[in-house]
Structure 1
């Protein structure tokens, strides 16, 4: 979790109903009833547990407590820590921030003729190309293969917004859905990337937190982080550093799914950050993918014999914990920490864990860890408690 979200989540909890629960409301209503009737009649009145009046008060307390929950929620929706969904959208607009919509993946397509021609060959805008499956990319602009040439590169966008269009390696898009005379083949020259689902509540809350940094023209760190995340919901962790003497600002980032950004995404973000309303005139902004520090995973875990009935469930949970660790570890500047791996595997139900890899490794603030090969997870069997 980025530092900004940690700061939000770590704020003190607030209750607009003084943390009352249903039992407290019941007790207060019964006490108020007994006090009022006793005062009115001059006789001490105590409601028995089976009293019809007590049951009526309990029924009313349920409705009153529900109304209190609505009041508590209403108050919390004006606070960034608790706000969600449409409430968060309305809160964000006060900082000039709107939720990023789902965006489609992009790539570059290369169309190739069967032979050179004496005239130009047009590639209509919207020409579709697909993979072996049902994912389609359409060209963004009209393009031409000049006379005497055989190829042209054209930017293209997935026809469906979201992450489904991400991750196709160069060469995987090779089926022309809309045939063009004289065009023999097509292929994507870059991996498809940049597709993102609609921005999550956590990501939007983080941008709202960073938004004040974007108001300054002095080029603060928060401002660059805000604008980088505003460029695309597909962008994940971002780090900005600067060399004040040289007047340079270096931005490194990874994608929201933890993958390394491709050249098109890097160039797109760099161009966006060069905007006159974003980049101070004195800053030279450079954008790149972070350098990677590789590590491996090799561990053996054991399960308590008393947990033998759920050993299969624990084994599946351990495998998931190792996968979750890889996701947790993939943050820029986060040291490679085997203790966290042990903690997560133990939480999954293991009795003990022996880790031979990774070893603790400090990671520079602008670098990111990367798993090399597959994780090796060995089950050592049951042990006495």
Structure 2
């Protein structure tokens, strides 16, 4: 999406001092006399200006929220409703559970959708089946799609094999294990992402032919999505590359969700062949030595701020397609955090294309010591 830089806008004056000056000068012009500093009328006008300022601030805020750029909370949701673009609700993590049979069954069994099935060793997060699954007499195992019972990120990142306990043991099941990393759980869509989708909403007046339309429908698949790159290397072929928040790469479940969204019959042009994937990874090493001024008052705070600046830089670098590897940004951020000097041994500047994303492979951060100014 093309970023639009908009000017700040105000409908009413909210500067209290200007209001005081205007009120007093208006009175003085009408009455033909100057108000002394201790004049009781001046105190009354100061009080009036204070009340008017508070009212103007409230009215100004309400008026500004009629504009998408400033809308928030329920007002933003109403703006979305105008474009038939509801906010994305919180989603639950999903995974695939493989149930291994102790022996072939003598007759088929059904595991119904919504049945509480599995949990991890800790037994805190639970997963339920999302569909009816039939275990045939010839099966040695059956794969079942599961959904976390709690909406949000709590069910994410269970590694393969970590969800390995049945809530209700079944006599014909020897063991269970998740064969995919659980992913897809997210809180309700944040306001900035929602605002961007509303901005894109007019694109959906066409089916997903234009770049903006594909981006709109792809973003509508999950609130975890932070960046989309749509490309057509040749006529009839559309590649959609996806990044999640904080530069995380999408799981197969997220990729499938996006594919289903953009491949719907009322969305995809019949002539388009669509692929959805994670971006091509360009790895780099981060090797930084930072120094703090000897006379700095809050050295511990500076330590923490610089470490956080480096961590934030890594997320910034990997959170957008085609973002060049730029050590100048890292140096600037560390100076703002309070560092006296930064020695960036790696990376060097590297331009990358729109289909790629830069990701750290090895990270080394060293405190070089104190230096005089």
- Asked whether the two chains share a fold, i.e. TM above 0.5, the reply is yes
**More displaced 10-residue stretch of structure 1: 148-157 or 25-34:** 25-34
C-alpha deviation, 1:333, in angstroms: 1.1
Are the structure 2 counterparts of residues 22 and 15 from structure 1 closer, same or farther at C-alpha, using a change threshold of 3 Å? same
C-alpha deviation, 1:37, in angstroms: 3.6
CA contact (8 A) 1:118 1:148 kept: no
Q: Which residue of 1 aligns with 2:230?
A: 240
Counterpart of 1:270 (choices 259, 262, 276) is: 259
Are the structure 2 counterparts of residues 52 and 132 from structure 1 closer, same or farther at C-alpha, using a change threshold of 3 Å? farther
What are the residue-to-residue correspondences of 1:206-355 with 2, within 5 Å? Answer: 206-217=196-207, 219-245=209-235, 247-307=236-296, 309-330=297-318, 331-355=320-344
Which segments of 5 or more consecutive residues in structure 1 lack a partner in the other structure?
A: 39-43
- The secondary structure found in structure 2 opposite 1:159 is strand
Q: 2:158, 2:228 → 1: CA distance? A: 24
Does the alignment pair 1:370 with 2:364?
no
Number of matched residues? 370
Are the structure 2 counterparts of residues 298 and 267 from structure 1 closer, same or farther at C-alpha, using a change threshold of 3 Å? same
CA contact (8 A) 1:123 1:180 kept: no
Q: 1:184, 1:57 → 2: CA distance? A: 83
Q: 1:132, 1:340 → 2: CA distance? A: 43
Q: Which residue of 1 aligns with 2:28?
A: 34
Q: Which residue of 2 aligns with 1:103?
A: 91
- The secondary structure found in structure 2 opposite 1:353 is strand
C-alpha deviation, 1:265, in angstroms: 2.1
Q: 2:217, 2:35 → 1: CA distance? A: 63
Q: 1:257, 1:155 → 2: CA distance? A: 27
CA contact (8 A) 2:184 2:253 kept: no
- The secondary structure found in structure 1 opposite 2:192 is helix
Counterpart of 1:49 (choices 31, 37, 46) is: 37
Q: Deviations over 1:240-296 (max 9, x none)?
A: 001343x10000102224221122222232122111121111111111111100011
Q: Which residue of 2 aligns with 1:14?
A: 9
Q: 1:219, 1:170 → 2: CA distance? A: 38
Which is strand-richer, 1 or 2?
A: 2
Q: Which residue of 2 aligns with 1:74?
A: 62
Q: 2:195, 2:251 → 1: CA distance? A: 26
Q: 1:299, 1:148 → 2: CA distance? A: 58
Q: 1:185, 1:122 → 2: CA distance? A: 17
Q: 2:367, 2:12 → 1: CA distance? A: 49
C-alpha deviation, 1:218, in angstroms: 6.5
Q: 2:120, 2:186 → 1: CA distance? A: 19
- The secondary structure found in structure 2 opposite 1:281 is coil
Counterpart of 2:193 (choices 203, 219, 233) is: 203
Q: Deviations over 1:326-385 (max 9, x none)?
A: 111011111111111111111111112110111111112111111113x21111222222
C-alpha deviation, 1:103, in angstroms: 0.7
CA contact (8 A) 1:112 1:150 kept: yes
Which segments of 5 or more consecutive residues in structure 2 lack a partner in the other structure?
A: none
Task: Give me the TM-score of the superposition, normalised by structure 2.
Answer: 0.95
Are the structure 2 counterparts of residues 119 and 218 from structure 1 closer, same or farther at C-alpha, using a change threshold of 3 Å? closer
Q: 1:60, 1:219 → 2: CA distance? A: 57
Task: Give me the TM-score of the superposition, normalised by structure 1.
Answer: 0.92
- The secondary structure found in structure 2 opposite 1:105 is strand
**More displaced 10-residue stretch of structure 1: 140-149 or 224-233:** 140-149
- The secondary structure found in structure 2 opposite 1:32 is helix
Counterpart of 2:179 (choices 189, 193, 199) is: 189
Are the structure 2 counterparts of residues 132 and 258 from structure 1 closer, same or farther at C-alpha, using a change threshold of 3 Å? farther
Q: Which residue of 2 aligns with 1:153?
A: 143
Does the alignment pair 1:170 with 2:164?
no
- The secondary structure found in structure 1 opposite 2:163 is coil
- The secondary structure found in structure 1 opposite 2:89 is coil
The list of structure 1 runs, each at least 4 consecutive aligned residues, that deviate by more than 6 angstroms after superposition, is none
- The secondary structure found in structure 2 opposite 1:306 is coil
